[in-house]
Structure 1
Amino acid sequence: MAKNKNSLPSAPFFCLLILFLAFNSWAQEEEATALISPVKITSDQMEADKNKGTVVFKGNVVVRQEEGIIMSELLTVYYNEKSEMEKIIAEGDVRINQNDRVGTCQLATYRLEGKSIVMEGDPRIWRGGDVVEGETITIFMDSDRMIVEGGARAVIHKKEDSKNAPEPLADSEGQ
């Protein structure tokens, strides 16, 4: 079972990081570097179930890759019968930090088919002092497109005024 944990591909986790914060394009060089960097996942508990096609990380989940961090209370990775990853769901106080970008919500679902992520439960995305929020934020990685539904709100500041970014993430390893 531990073999499943170590064999998780890094690309979907990187995509999860990018998709939350994708309202700005990323340089191809940064993306290529992040795709090959290892993913480190820590949690209080991990349970892999080959019959259900899931790997569940519970309690104080921290997904760390060179370019960013995802924190949540629960992270579930779903596989199909060919052991191919289908979707990743992060639940409970989801927080993502990617360089100067921060995203928060209660539930984030990344689907590999269609390469989309849906943020629900008070979703917000910040960059500096700028913020986008609504009831649901859907980001489409392939087309650099974002849809905010249910009371879409955005606050955009002049560059010199946008210094009110949320606090960077801190975890037990000091990052």
Structure 2
Amino acid sequence: ETLSGERILLRLDSEDVDVVRPRVVLRRSIAEEGQPTPVRVEADHLLLLQARRLARFTDDVVVRRGDAVVRSPRMEARYDGEGQLTKLELRGGVDVRQGDRRATGQNADYDAKARTLILAGDPKLYDQGDVLTGDRIDLALDTKEVRVERARGRLRPEAHKGERGAP
């Protein structure tokens, strides 16, 4: 794991860390089989609260892992006692891109164990010309499966010609 930035302030009384323009690379804190794919996080500001096992990123947060890119104004990352990521909470407008797929919403929660991202607050999913909206959109990032609660949308069958079950 690496942390760098323009200015790093370590508070000796609490071991909290305050970082301006942080750049974080996580390799071991994402539990997965085989060779882990690094997660890279950039933001304008990071406050790392060691005792609460909480990292609070603010202003222009960008998270990259493989071909997935997540952008949001605010993100809180929560860790367990071993330093493994357990949850991400993104607030204030979220934009997720993975390959040709894009999803947006006001808020998103990522469950590291289930490896799912849940979008809420006028969530939308754009995929091959299709647009889905609903009350909530669940994305399984590994399998790329999607579940939409109270789904509404516009589907373009011609975009799916040749796929299993397509006309």
TM-score w.r.t. length of structure 1: 0.66
Q: CA deviation at 1:45?
A: 0.4
Structure 1 gap segments, 5+ residues each: 16-31, 162-175
- Tell me the SS of whatever aligns to 2:82: coil
Deviations 1:61-110 (A, max 9, x none): 11234413211001111001222211111111100122211110111111
Residue identity over aligned pairs, in percent, reads 24
- Show the counterpart of 1:111: 111
Cα deviation code 1:28-71 (max 9, x no counterpart): xxxx99x53x4332211011111010111100111234413211
Corresponding residue of 1:153: 152
Query: How has the CA–CA distance of structure 1 residues 111 and 99 changed in structure 2, closer, same or farther, with 3 Å as cutoff?
Result: same
Q: CA RMSD in A?
A: 3.2
What are the ranges of 5 or more consecutive residues in structure 2 without an aligned counterpart? 5-16, 18-22, 161-167
- The alignment status of 1:9 with 2:23, answered yes or no, reads no
1:138-170, CA deviations, whole angstroms, 9 ceiling, x for partnerless residues?
234577643322x31132103369xxxxxxxxx
The DSSP-based 3-state class of the residue aligned with 1:110 is strand
Match of 1:78 in 2: 78
2:110 and 2:118 in contact (8 A); partners too: yes
Supply the distance in 2 between the matched residues of 1:83 and 1:134 (Cα, whole angstroms).
Answer: 34
Letter in 2 for 1:152: A
Which letter maps to 1:71? Answer: R
Instruction: Provide the rounded CA distance (Å) in 1 between the counterparts of 2:106 and 2:44.
Output: 19
Change in CA separation of 1:160 and 1:107 when aligned onto 2, cut-off 3 Å: closer
Q: 1:142 to 1:59 in 2, by over 3 A?
A: closer
| Count, aligned residues | 140
Query: Whose helix fraction is larger, Structure 1's or Structure 2's?
Result: 1
From the two aligned structures, give the one with the greater strand fraction: 2
| Equivalent residue, structure 2, for 1:172 | none
Question: Quick check: 1:74–1:92 contact (8 Å CA) kept in 2?
Answer: yes
Matched position secondary structure for 1:89: strand
State how far apart, in whole Å, the 2-side matches of 1:158 and 1:94 are.
28
The one-letter amino acid of 1:8's match is L
Report SS of the residue matched to 2:26.
coil
Structure whose CA Rg is larger? 2
Q: Distance in 2 between matches of 1:122 and 1:47?
A: 29
CA distance in 2, matches of 1:2, 1:57: 13
Which deviates further from its counterpart, 129-138 or 139-148?
139-148
- CA distance, structure 2, for counterparts of residue 139 and residue 66 of structure 1: 16
Q: Which has the higher contact order (CA 8 A, sep 6+)?
A: 1
Residue in structure 1 matched with residue 97 of structure 2 by the alignment:
97
